[in-house]
Structure 1
Amino acid sequence: MSANLQEQRTAYWNANLRILGVCLAIWFIAGFLLPIFLVDALNTISLGGYPLGFWVAQQGSIYTFLALIFFYAWRMNKLDREFDVDED
């Protein structure tokens, strides 16, 4: 295997890990920190008649997770095209 190909694979994998790390950090914040540790501060704000802390715990973390799935798929397709490993 040539050194250039190995460098390209390593760069691709590092870019993938950066994207994954950002997605996991956002998921951790939306799924754990906001609804558990900041619930009292969020409950001072109302959204649709419900306290924001309740909404984030019940709906917001799910919506965030779904948005992250679509973002990851979009970003990985873009990364695949950048490194010429796409399926097209």
Structure 2
Amino acid sequence: MALTEQEKESARAYWKTNVRIILISLVIWALVSFGFGILLRPMLAGISIGGTDLGFWFAQQGSILVFLALIFFYAWRMNKLDAEHGVGEE
């Protein structure tokens, strides 16, 4: 079964959007975990949160919480994208 040109274009748009969401999520995760937790930790040392400095908090808790938030965001956004392109689960 050959795909029509419209179906091919929809598939391209779907995967382009999917890859963009993944890349944005990975950049956010890398920035929070590696950037804030390691590279920018000395700059964040003066800011206190929960009895410790912000850089330490990002290294120990913040990156995990952001990762969990990104998982839920990705699932929500992909369900929406699936519905837009007619490939959602039934």
Q: Is the pair's TM-score, using the shorter chain for normalization, greater than 0.5?
A: yes
Q: Which runs of 5+ in 2 are unaligned?
A: none
Q: How many residues align?
A: 88
Q: Which residue of structure 2 lines up, in the alignment, with residue 27 of structure 1?
A: 29
Q: How does 1:1-88 map to 2 (within 5 A)?
A: 1-88=3-90
What is the TM-score of this pair, normalised by structure 2? 0.94
Q: Distance in 2 between matches of 1:53 and 1:12?
A: 37
Q: Which runs of 5+ in 1 are unaligned?
A: none
What is the TM-score of this pair, normalised by structure 1? 0.96
Percent pairwise identity: 53
1:87 is paired with a residue whose SS is coil
Q: Distance in 2 between matches of 1:87 and 1:41?
A: 46
RMSD: 0.7
Q: Deviations over 1:23-53 (max 9, x none)?
A: 0110010111111110011111000111111
The one-letter amino acid of 2:12's match is T
Stretches of 4+ moved more than 2 A in 1? none
- Structure scoring higher RCO (CA < 8 A, sep ≥ 6) equals 1
